Amino acid sequence: MTDRFEWAIGRYLLAVLFLAGAVQKTLDPAPAGALLAGYGLPEWLVWPALAFNALAAGLLLAGRYLKPIGRTLAVYCLLTSVFHFVPDDPWQMSIMIQNWALAGGCLILSASSGRGA
């Protein structure tokens, strides 16, 4: 495989994750809304999160604005990891750490953008 091919596949896989998040929130916004409400946040924040997930997925697929979207996604992943900080629940803690790993991948994407990748 060439570096360019691997880089594109990596972008597409990240895009699928964020697209799936948008679809999940579209089909059943209640769980995400309940999670937000449990932290004292308004449930309507599901809709901007859905829009952001969809926009990010589209930009990743199109290969556009990768440096800023990579940075923004990294911050998004780190912020949303807070919702999964439930020390008594190993599953939620695993999701929290996965969000950190995704943030790392998004930062790598941002750093490598514009370097001929």
Residue type, 43: E
Which letter does DSSP use for residue 117 in this model?
A: -
Query: Which stretches of the chain are DSSP H helices?
Result: 3-27, 30-38, 46-62, 66-81, 90-112
Contact 41, 88 (CB under 8 A): no
Q: What is the pLDDT of residue 115?
A: 57
Q: What is the pLDDT along the chain (117 residues), one digit of tens a residue?
A: 688 899 899 999 999 999 999 999 999 999 999 999 999 999 999 999 999 999 999 999 999 999 999 999 999 999 999 999 999 999 999 999 999 999 999 999 999 886 544
- Rounded Cα distance between 50 and 56, Å, is 10
Q: What is the pLDDT of residue 114?
A: 67
Q: What is the pLDDT of residue 2?
A: 83
Closest CA to 110 of 48, 56, 49: 56
User: Cβ contacts of residue 103 below 8 Å, gap of 6+?
Assistant: 73, 74, 75, 77, 78, 81
